[in-house]
Structures are given as structure tokens and as C-alpha cells.
Amino acid sequence: MKKKKICMVGDFSVGKTSLTQTFVNNVFSDKYLTTIGVKIDTAIIGDTKLIVWDVAGRDSLSPINSSYLVGAAGIVLVGDGTRENTIDDLSIIWDTVKNRIGEVPVVVALNKADLYDWSVSDQSYTFFSEQGWDVFSTSAKDGRNVEEMFQALVEKITN
């Protein structure tokens, strides 16, 4: 069985932990708990054991700890589809990732698709498309596109 480390990265409160828990344990909680440092889970897709590193969120006062990124075979960039600034920040986060570990496969999770105040601009979709990234409108709450998003990343990192 192949083992592959992937990192979930994004701003605070975009749903990285919720997406991970929905995928790994099929559990969603409305309680918000800030991740301190990193939380590590595992899941199996086909013949690949994913080691999912849920990296603490980023904001203007606390950037991502890039040491957690070392060894990652792939990245899930997570933005909150109801907060455009968290989606705009994904290009800054990608620069941090790329500077630390180089080019690796990426998928984008635009999370909270179950909410009505969706605010993802056409410019954001165009930017992601230009990067060659697969984009998924996800919902950790109802499970929408969560498994598909992780599956797409596994396909990118194992091919």
C-alpha cells in the first residue's frame, strides 16, 4: 500500500477540520474548535493510505507554519465560499506552499456550499482554472463533493 501525505491549508474557520472529519470519520460537528499546530488523520482510497495533515489556519497575524508542508505529495486549498476574502487568500497560501515544497498536485475545496450566501467570483474560478487545479464546491455538513475531492487528489498524486 502506498502512503501519501497531503495537507489541508487555508484561512481560519474555512472548514479544513470539518472536511477532514467528514471524509475520514463521516462525522460533522457544528462546534468550532481552532486547530493548534496540526491534526493528523488517515484514510484509505484504493491502494493508497492518505495521511491527512490538517494544518492550523492562517490569518494576517499568523501565517501557515510551512514546516508542516514538508513531504506533502498534494495540497487541498480550502476557502469558505461565503467569504470571498478567504478565497482570494488562496493565491497567497499557494505561494507559501510553492516556496516551501515546490509544485505539487492541488485541488481546491470551496467549502460551505450548503449555505445560501455563496460569494465566489468568476475571477476566482478563472484563476483556479488557469493554474490547472480541480475545483470542488464542497459541504462538510452534507458531504457534498467531499469524497470526490479527495479522490481527485489521490488520482493526481498517484498518476
Look at residue 34 in the predicted model and tell me its pLDDT: 67
Name beta bridge partners: 9.
77
**DSSP conformational letter for 39:** E
pLDDT digits (tens, 9 = 90+) for 50-76: 999 998 877 655 667 788 899 999 999
Look at residue 143 in the predicted model and tell me its pLDDT: 95
Residues 6+ apart with CB under 8 A from 48: 1, 2, 3, 4, 154, 157, 158
> Under CATH, which architecture does the 2-158 domain have?
3-Layer(aba) Sandwich (3.40)
Look at residue 159 in the predicted model and tell me its pLDDT: 83
Residues 6+ apart with CB under 8 A from 54: 8, 16, 17, 20, 35, 38, 39, 40, 41
Look at residue 24 in the predicted model and tell me its pLDDT: 93
pLDDT in tens, the chain (159 residues): 899 999 999 999 999 999 999 999 888 777 656 666 688 999 999 999 999 999 887 765 566 778 889 999 999 999 999 999 999 999 999 999 999 999 999 999 999 999 989 889 889 999 999 999 999 999 999 999 999 999 999 999 998
Look at residue 61 in the predicted model and tell me its pLDDT: 55
Q: Please name the amino acid found at residue 69.
A: L
Residue-range domain boundaries for the chain:
2-158
Look at residue 65 in the predicted model and tell me its pLDDT: 77
